[in-house]
């Protein structure tokens, strides 16, 4: 019972955090649509395995499913598998769950469906993730040394900071509904990363595109088949209409 209560409390905390990320802080940026770009998906898969899979699992995705985005099994083995993992295994985090709970206060969530589960009134789940990954800033008051504008008081550190460098949000005071409000106007680069700001944004677009694809690998096929089904139904409707007219034309 105690474990159940703690689980419920943690879930409420996550929901409250998601609500805070849903527009009480900043507007979500529109994520690029990369789910049909195989090169972008492959780069996103590489970023996911190298930076996300250390702590987060994707327990409903198998490595060999990456063949759907143009990778061969040999490429998967050579570039995306570490340790004793096999190409047919599911994507499990390298971190020990008990250690993760001690370090971060909770076990990092599974990311298989995160691109679908994080949608809200601020936009799609992809929009949230794209904004979240690009709005980290240094905060000495936090245990990890980092905070996030899209998810205030987030427990996750900025694992991609070497790519992005350190940035500082810039604000200006504006009148909103008769009250002085601090409005985000941009970012100041404090220390450079290994990527330029444009390169980092493109990389995060690739990573988010991969997370979108991973949440529903068959989505592109579903859309493609759906278009053909609608075309067939449209053609069949015209044929049925003309047959009906021909059948009843001599009957009064």
Q: What is the DSSP string of 48-81?
A: IIIIITTT--EEEEEGGGGGGGT--HHHHHHHT-
DSSP run (H or E) holding 146: strand 146-148
Tens of pLDDT, residues 2-15: 443 333 334 434 33
Residues, the chain: 252
Tens of pLDDT, residues 28-39: 999 999 999 999
> Would you place residue 19 in the very low, low, confident or very high pLDDT band (cuts 50, 70, 90)?
very low
Give me the domains of the chain, ranges plus CATH numbers.
Answer: 2-166+192-216 (1.10.760.10)
Give the residue, 181 or 87, on which the prediction is more confident.
Answer: 87
How far is Cα 33 from Cα 13, in angstroms, rounded to an integer?
Answer: 30
Tens of pLDDT, residues 86-134: 999 999 988 887 887 777 777 889 999 999 999 888 899 999 999 999 9
Q: What are phi and psi of 156, to 5 degrees?
A: -85, 130
């Amino acid at each position: 019972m105690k474990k159940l209560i703690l689980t419920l409390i943690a879930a409420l905390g996550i929901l409250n955090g998601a609500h805070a990320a849903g527009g009480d802080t900043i507007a979500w940026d529109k994520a690029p649509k990369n789910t049909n770009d195989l090169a972008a998906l492959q780069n996103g898969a590489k970023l996911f395995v190298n930076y996300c899979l250390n702590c987060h699992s994707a327990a409903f995705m198998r490595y060999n499913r990456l063949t759907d985005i143009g990778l061969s099994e040999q490429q998967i083995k050579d570039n995306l598998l570490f340790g004793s993992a096999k190409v047919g295994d599911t994507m499990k985090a390298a971190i020990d769950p008990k250690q993760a709970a001690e370090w971060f206060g909770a076990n990092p969530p599974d990311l298989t469906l995160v691109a679908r589960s994080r949608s809200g009134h601020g936009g799609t789940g992809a929009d949230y993730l794209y904004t979240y990954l690009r709005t980290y800033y240094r905060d000495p008051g936090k245990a990890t040394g980092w905070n996030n504008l899209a998810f205030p008081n987030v427990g996750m550190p900025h694992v991609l900071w070497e790519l992005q460098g350190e940035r500082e949000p810039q604000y200006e005071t504006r009148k909103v509904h008769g009250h002085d409000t601090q409005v985000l106007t941009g970012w100041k680069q404090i220390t450079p990363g290994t990527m330029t700001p444009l390169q980092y944004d493109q990389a995060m677009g690739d990573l988010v595109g991969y997370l979108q694809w991973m949440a529903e690998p068959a989505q592109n096929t579903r859309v493609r088949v759906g278009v053909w089904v609608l075309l067939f139904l449209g053609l069949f409707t015209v044929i049925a209409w003309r047959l009906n007219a021909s059948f009843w034309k001599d009957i009064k």
